[in-house]
Amino acid sequence: MKIICIGRNYAKHIEELENERPETPVVFLKPDSAILPKKMPFFIPPFANSIHYEVEILVKINKVGKHIDAKFAHKYYDEIGLGIDFTDREMQAKLKAKGLPWEKAKSFDGAAVVGEFYPKEKFNLNAIKFQLLKNNEVVQDGNSNAMLWKIDELIAYVSQYFTLKKGDILFTGTPAGVGETKINDVLIGTLEGNTSFSVKIK
């Protein structure tokens, strides 16, 4: 399986990081080794000076597809989840400044938290509410209605470049409110009020 991630899919997040608004989705990959094992803490890597949390709605692909038309994209997933795209922000900034790939800053071991998945029928996909709490304080408060590209549009777009396979996970981008996490922080993600994950930082 692979993890396909979308960057810059919420306007306010683009603004907070002072990035340029893209004309098409920004796409990058994480290997399966980036998935943080269930119930395990996240250990800040020794090479990192500034690890940021980015909470995101996740989509689990349920069958093989390529060159998928947006009007048929809904047939390629039936579960929605929540996760974190951990980012070494300092390293990312250095790589971006040199025009280099982001993988070292985004794809290291444990950099992808994958929470519980729920049947998509539980949600209005165009208005999914989700939050990230750090030490019981809400730090990110998002809604899928603010996505620049909706879930079906993202599936259609990425399937032009990558064959989607059963079990692949699509990270759909993060809203505003990203920030640094420190040792002993506890991060909790909620999807329409349901706790999807809880991660201790070490």
Write out pLDDT tens, residues 108-157.
Answer: 999 999 999 999 999 999 999 999 999 999 999 999 999 999 999 999 99
Write out the residue range of the structural domain in which residue 115 sits: 3-200
Q: How many CB atoms sit inside 10 A of residue 117's CB?
A: 19
Burial label for 119, CB within 10 Å (0-12, 13-18, 19+), is: exposed
Q: How far apart are CA 113 and CA 182, in angstroms?
A: 16
For residue 12, is pLDDT > 80?
no
The predicted structure's pLDDT at residue 22: 77
Burial label for 20, CB within 10 Å (0-12, 13-18, 19+), is: exposed
Q: Name which of 175, 174, 181 is nearest 199 in CA terms.
A: 181
- Write the CATH number for 75: 3.90.850.10
Beta bridge partners of 52: 87, 180
Average pLDDT over residues 5-18: 79
Average pLDDT over residues 52-77: 98
DSSP code string of 100-138: --SHHHH-STT-EEEEEEEEGGGS-TTS-EEEEEETTEE
State the pTM of this model. 0.95
Query: Taking the C-alpha atoms of 15, 2, 181 and 141 in order, what is their torsion angle to the nearest 10 degrees?
Result: 50
Q: How far apart are CA 155 and CA 73, in angstroms?
A: 6
The predicted structure's pLDDT at residue 20: 76
Q: How far is CA 127 from CA 31, 45, 67, in A?
A: 29, 35, 26
* Helix, strand, coil fractions of the chain, as percent rounded to 5: 20, 40, 40
Cβ atoms of residues 174 and 54 within 8 Å = yes
- Within 54-111, strands assigned E span 55-61, 77-85, 87-88
Question: In the structure encoding, which two tokens stand for residue 74, read together?
Answer: 């809904």
Total domain count for the chain?
1
